[in-house]
Structure 1
Amino acid sequence: MRLAPPDTREGCMSEVRRLSANGTARQAPVALEAKGVWKVFGSGAKTFGRLPAAERTPDALAAADVIGAVQDASFRIVRGEVFVIMGLSGSGKSTLLRCLTRLIESTEGEIRYDGENILGLDEKSLVELRRRRMGMVFQHFALLPNRTVLGNVAFPLEVQGMPRVNAETRAAELIETVGLKGRGDRFPSELSGGQQQRVGIARSLTTNPEFWFLDEPFSALDPLIRADLQGEVQRLQQTQTRTVVFVTHDLDEAILLADRIAIMEGGRIVQIGTPEELVIRPATDYVRRFVAKVSPARVVRVSSLMAPADGGNATAGVRADATIFEIARELVAAEGPLPVLNVGGSQVGYLDRQRALATLAAGA
C-alpha cells in the first residue's frame, strides 16, 4: 500500500494519508515527528543553537565555525509507514537517524513519539523507551562473539528481566522467522555476513518494537544477499507492520522499500515524497539528477493513471497499487481498458491501455 502524494517542499509538515481497503483516502495517525531538528558540531554549537531560527543561515554556520550535519529537519511519519532517508555520503542521513533515537543529542528542535517530545526524557526513561519501543539494526552487526545465535537474539529480553527459558523460546521463534532455523547453536564466527545480519534483524525484533530503525543495514553485503534481506524486510513489514525509518544511499533500495523518501543534501532535506513523486516531480536539480536514471514505469502506480469506475463489478484485473512495470504483460496482452481492483478485490477504476503503454515506453 502506498501513501498519497504529500507536499514536497523542503521541511514540509504536510498531512499524510493512506488508502483504506475500499480505495478511499483515510488519515493515518502520526507516530513520529521531527520539528526543526538541528545537529551542529563544533566549539560554537551552543552559541549557534541560541540564534533565532531565521538567523541560522549558511553564513551564520561559517561565522560560528561549526558544521551543520542536520539542518532544520522537519517531517511527520505515520504509523506503519516505511520512511526512507537517503543521500550521498556526508549528507547527514545517519546523523539524523541517530538524532531520532537520541543516540546523539540534537542541538535544537523537537522529536516527538506519539506527541511526546523525547528530548525532555531523563536517562532512565530514554533507556526504557529504547528497550520497549525501538528496534535498531546497523551496518556493523555488533553481535556478541561469546554468545550463540540463540543467546544473541534472546539477550534484549534477558536485559528486560524475562526468564531465560521464555526469552529463548521467543528468540527461537524469531530465528526461524528470519530463515535461520537449525542454526541457534552456532556462534557468530561460524556464520556468513548475510546470516549475521539476519541475527541482527531477529535481535532487533525480540521486544516486538513499534519503531524499527535500520541504518544502511545491507551496504556491506554482496548484491545477492542484499536482495534476499531486502525481501526479508518487506516480508516482515507485511506480516508485522511497524513504523520504519530506513537509511540508505542506494536509490534502488529506497524505491523498493519506501512508502516515502526524504532526500538529503548537505545536512538539509531537499524533498520528501513517494518514489513516484520524486521521479515525476523532482523539486530541485539535485533531486532531478539523483533520479534521472529511474524508469517512470518502475514507480508510477496504476492508481495514478486510472479513471474511476462507474458501477464496475469486474472480479479480475490489475491491482491499484501495482506499478506499470509490474503489469507490463497484462498491458501487452490486453485489447482495451483494464479493470482496476483494490486490495479487497473490488473494482475501483479502469486503466487506459494506451496511456499506460506510453508510461512503460518512457522508461525503455
Structure 2
Amino acid sequence: MSKSSTTPLIQIKGLYKIFGKTPEKLLPDVKAGKSKDDILAASGHTVGLQQIDLDIERGEIFVIMGLSGSGKSTLIRHFNRLIDPTEGQIIVEGEDVMKLDEKGLQHFRRHKMSMVFQRFGLMPHRTVLQNVAYGLQVQGVSKAERDNKATEWLETVGLAGYEQQYPSQLSGGQQQRVGLARALCTDAEILLMDEAFSALDPLIRSEMQDQLIGLQEKLQKTIIFITHDLDEALRLGDRIAILRDGKLIQQGRPVDILLNPADDYVEAFVKDVNRARALTVDTVMQPQSLRISTETIGEALAQMRQAKVQHGYYMNDEGYQGALCRERLESFDSSRHGDAIDDKVLETVPGIQSDALIEQVIPDTIEHELPLPVLDEDGELQGQLSRASVVEVLTDQQSNEENTVDKAEGTDKKKPDEERVSA
C-alpha cells in the first residue's frame, strides 16, 4: 500500500522501558508520575524511558541528545529492537517493528538499518575491505560484488588504498571512517549513530562531522544521531530531541532549541553556545524591504514611495545588482527620472546566502549601513539582515547570561548595540 509523502518514516509512540524482573507491574507507577529514584528504591527496577513520542522524517538527521543516564542510547537501541520496550510502538514505513517475527526482524536489521558504534566495532582479524563488506556478506552478496562495493565506499570516505590494512594499523579517525563505510555499504536507508564521534580527538571529530554533512547532501539517508554534545547536535541536526532521566524534554529545530529552551535544564545546555556559530542567516532575517525590477530611476522612486520604504534591492535578469536608496534618488533632478538604473545610482551592498552562519556575515553587516539582502541558492531574494537583527540575537544571549539587561533594549537603542558588535 502506498504511503502518503507526509507520513514520517519512523514513528515512536508511547514508548516505555523499565529494566528489571517484572517491569509490567511497575508501569502504572511510572505512568502515575512516581519518580525514577523512588521506583528504584522500592522495587530495584530502573526506569529507562517514559512516554517517548517521536516522528522522524525521511532524509533528515535527527539528533537525540542528553547527559549520561538520560536514556538516549537506550532509545536508539529500540529502533532496531536490540532492546524491546516494556510498552509502545516502533513503526517504520508503516510497519510495526514489534510485530516482526525472528526472520522478519533479521531481514529488517540487515537491509533497513545500519549502525555506527562509538568504539568503531571493527573486527580486528579482518582487513579493512573485509570489515566494510561484512554486512553484504551477511546479506549473501557474492564476494566479487561486495568487494567492488566496499572498495567504492572506502574511496567515498577517503580511505582508498587502505583495503588490505587491518584496524590496528589505522588511526581512530580512520577506523571510524571504516565503520561509516561499513554502515553505508549495505544501502540501508536508515543509519543509527550512537556517540559515533565522541571517542575521537576534537580536530578529527570536526572532520568527521564535515564528512557526514557532505555525504548526507549526496545520499539523503535518514540518520538518527546520538550525542551528549550540544555543539555537535546543533551542527548536524535538522531536528533535535533532548532527553532527561528517560523523559523527552524538548524537540524541535536547532533554532527553536537555542532561542526558546523549554525549561531550565535545556537553558543550561544552550547558555554557553556561541549563537553566531550556531544560527544561520535565515533564522534571524526579516522580510525584504522591497524588490525593485523597474528600469528607470523615476519608476524605482515611485515604487519606493508607494511602498513607504527608504531602500530596495534592484534585481534584473542577471540577478541581484545592488541596493537603491530613496534619499539618494530623491536628490536627483526630475529630468533624470527617465535615466536607466546603473552602477552610478546603485549602492554596493553585498548579497548573502540564507544558509550562511551569522558569524560569517557579521563583518559585512558592520561595514554597510543598509541591511544586507538575503538570497537563496538560486539567487532569489528571500529577506534582509540588518545590524539590529544580528545585535538583538547576540545581545539577547549576553543579557540572559548576565541577567542585567532587558531583552527589549537591543531593538530600540541601535547605536550602542551596533558599537558593541563592532567592538
Bucket of the pairwise TM-score, normalised by the shorter protein: 0.7 to 0.9
Question: In structure 1, what is the equivalent of residue 365 of structure 2?
Answer: 331
Work out whether residues 48 and 56 of structure 1, in 8 Å CA contact, stay in contact via their aligned partners in 2. no
Question: In structure 1, what is the equivalent of residue 386 of structure 2?
Answer: 352
Work out whether residues 238 and 253 of structure 2, in 8 Å CA contact, stay in contact via their aligned partners in 1. yes
Question: In structure 2, what is the equivalent of residue 219 of structure 1?
Answer: 198
Is the counterpart of residue 148 in structure 1 residue 127 in structure 2?
Answer: yes
Question: In structure 2, what is the equivalent of residue 17 of structure 1?
Answer: none
CA distance in 1, matches of 2:256, 2:386: 21
Work out whether residues 194 and 225 of structure 2, in 8 Å CA contact, stay in contact via their aligned partners in 1. yes
Deviation of the 1:273 alpha carbon: 1.7
Could you tell me which amino acid in structure 2 is paired with residue 317 of structure 1?
Answer: G
> Which one of 64, 71, 86 corresponds to residue 107 of structure 1?
86
CA distance in 1, matches of 2:206, 2:274: 19
Is the counterpart of residue 67 in structure 1 residue 46 in structure 2?
Answer: yes
Aligned-partner SS, 2:185: coil
Question: In structure 2, what is the equivalent of residue 86 of structure 1?
Answer: 65
Work out whether residues 39 and 106 of structure 1, in 8 Å CA contact, stay in contact via their aligned partners in 2. yes
Aligned-partner SS, 1:70: strand
Which range moved further: 74-83 or 306-315? Answer: 306-315
Could you tell me which amino acid in structure 1 is paired with residue 363 of structure 2?
Answer: R
Question: In structure 1, what is the equivalent of residue 414 of structure 2?
Answer: none
Identity %: 44
Deviation of the 1:286 alpha carbon: 0.7
Work out whether residues 94 and 215 of structure 1, in 8 Å CA contact, stay in contact via their aligned partners in 2. yes
> Which one of 38, 46, 54 corresponds to residue 24 of structure 2?
46
Work out whether residues 133 and 210 of structure 1, in 8 Å CA contact, stay in contact via their aligned partners in 2. yes
Provide TM-score, normalisation by structure 2: 0.75
Aligned-partner SS, 2:106: helix
Is the counterpart of residue 210 in structure 1 residue 244 in structure 2?
Answer: no
Work out whether residues 353 and 376 of structure 2, in 8 Å CA contact, stay in contact via their aligned partners in 1. yes
Could you tell me which amino acid in structure 1 is paired with residue 135 of structure 2?
Answer: P
> Which one of 86, 98, 112 corresponds to residue 119 of structure 1?
98
Question: In structure 1, what is the equivalent of residue 256 of structure 2?
Answer: 277
Work out whether residues 308 and 348 of structure 1, in 8 Å CA contact, stay in contact via their aligned partners in 2. yes
Could you tell me which amino acid in structure 1 is paired with residue 8 of structure 2?
Answer: V
Work out whether residues 285 and 389 of structure 2, in 8 Å CA contact, stay in contact via their aligned partners in 1. no
Q: Report the CA distance shift for 1:54/1:250 in structure 2 as closer, same or farther (over 3 A).
A: closer
Could you tell me which amino acid in structure 1 is paired with residue 160 of structure 2?
Answer: K
Q: Report the CA distance shift for 1:54/1:91 in structure 2 as closer, same or farther (over 3 A).
A: closer
Q: How does 1:236-315 map to 2 (within 5 A)?
A: 236-309=215-288, 310-311=290-291, 313=315, 314-315=319-320
Deviation of the 1:296 alpha carbon: 2.8
Aligned-partner SS, 1:343: coil
Aligned-partner SS, 2:12: strand
Give unmatched runs, 5+ long, in structure 1. Answer: 1-26
Deviation of the 1:301 alpha carbon: 3.0
Could you tell me which amino acid in structure 1 is paired with residue 208 of structure 2?
Answer: L
Work out whether residues 12 and 54 of structure 2, in 8 Å CA contact, stay in contact via their aligned partners in 1. yes
Which of structure 1's runs of 4+ aligned residues deviate more than 6 A?
A: none
Aligned-CA RMSD value: 2.1
Question: In structure 2, what is the equivalent of residue 188 of structure 1?
Answer: 167
Q: Per residue, is there more helix in 1 or in 2?
A: 2
Could you tell me which amino acid in structure 2 is paired with residue 195 of structure 1?
Answer: Q
Aligned-partner SS, 1:83: strand
Deviations for 1:330-353, whole angstroms, at most 9, x for unmatched residues?
A: 222323111111233211222223
Deviation of the 1:182 alpha carbon: 0.6
Deviation of the 1:270 alpha carbon: 0.7
Question: In structure 2, what is the equivalent of residue 3 of structure 1?
Answer: none
Which has the larger Rg?
A: 2
Q: Report the CA distance shift for 1:305/1:250 in structure 2 as closer, same or farther (over 3 A).
A: closer
CA distance in 1, matches of 2:120, 2:147: 20
Which range moved further: 141-150 or 81-90? Answer: 141-150
Could you tell me which amino acid in structure 2 is paired with residue 40 of structure 1?
Answer: I
Deviation of the 1:164 alpha carbon: 0.6
Higher RCO (CA-CA < 8 Å; seq separation 6+):
1
> Which one of 340, 343, 355 corresponds to residue 374 of structure 2?
340
Which range moved further: 230-239 or 63-72? Answer: 63-72
CA distance in 1, matches of 2:352, 2:100: 48
Deviation of the 1:45 alpha carbon: 0.4
CA distance in 1, matches of 2:210, 2:263: 31
Q: Report the CA distance shift for 1:227/1:300 in structure 2 as closer, same or farther (over 3 A).
A: closer
Could you tell me which amino acid in structure 2 is paired with residue 359 of structure 1?
Answer: V
CA distance in 2, matches of 1:73, 1:326: 37
Deviations for 1:69-100, whole angstroms, at most 9, x for unmatched residues?
A: 11111111111111111111111110000012
Deviations for 1:194-248, whole angstroms, at most 9, x for unmatched residues?
A: 1111100000001111111100011111111111111111111111111111001
Work out whether residues 318 and 338 of structure 1, in 8 Å CA contact, stay in contact via their aligned partners in 2. yes
Aligned-partner SS, 2:63: strand
> Which one of 27, 50, 56 corresponds to residue 77 of structure 1?
56
Question: In structure 1, what is the equivalent of residue 411 of structure 2?
Answer: none
Give unmatched runs, 5+ long, in structure 2. Answer: 293-314, 321-349, 399-420
CA distance in 1, matches of 2:200, 2:283: 35
Is the counterpart of residue 320 in structure 1 residue 354 in structure 2?
Answer: yes
Work out whether residues 324 and 359 of structure 1, in 8 Å CA contact, stay in contact via their aligned partners in 2. no
Which range moved further: 113-122 or 353-362? Answer: 353-362
